[in-house]
Amino acid sequence: MKYELLSEAGAQILGLKGRLDAISGPELEEQLDLQAVQTKLIIDFTDLAYISSAGLRVILKIAKTLQTQGKSLVLCGMQGFIREIFDISGFSGILNIVASCDDALS
């Protein structure tokens, strides 16, 4: 999996590409410095092709850490299979998911 981190309008945007699973998830977790997030982290799923249960756990851990730090997490750009996984697993019920990065920034 590849990812890029951008800063825009006071928020950090993390763009994920490829697969988020038990191999790439722990790497992302290790490399991502959530202390560096100012107030809001946006994760863009537009180019993510696959997410497994280990990937979902990583997203949950990020959300929990940010909640503890008083920061927010917004997920955007989900389509097809990825959106289906979030809906079926109920993650959509506790995480803030919006359609696009523009929506997440506003």
Partner 1 sequence: MLNCAEELILLAIDDESGAFHRMIDVNFNLSLVGALIMDLALRNRIDSDLEHIYVISKEPTNDPILDQVLEMIGAPEAAGSSAVLLRQLYQSLENLRDRLLKRLELKGIIRFTENRVLWLFKQRRYPVIDQKEEKEVLTRIRETVLTDVIPEPRDLALISLINSCDLMDKIFSSSELREHDTRIQLLSKMDLIGHSTNKIIEDVQKMIASAFGV
For tokens 């790497």, the residue is: 27
Q: Which is nearer to partner 1, 17 or 57 (CB)?
A: 57
Which residues, 6+ apart, have CB-to-CB distance to 34 below 8 Å? 41, 62, 65, 66, 69, 71
Rg (CA), the chain: 12
- Cβ at position 24, least distance to partner 1 in Å: 11
Comparison of 38 and 89: residue with beta carbon closer to partner 1: 89
- Minimum CB separation of residue 102 from partner 1 in Å reads 25
Provide the 8-state DSSP code for 73.
E
Residues making contact with partner 1 (CB under 8 A): 21-23, 26, 50-54, 56-57, 60-61, 63-64, 67, 85, 88-91, 93-94
Cβ nearer to partner 1, comparing 9 with 22: 22
Write the single-letter amino acid at 80.
G
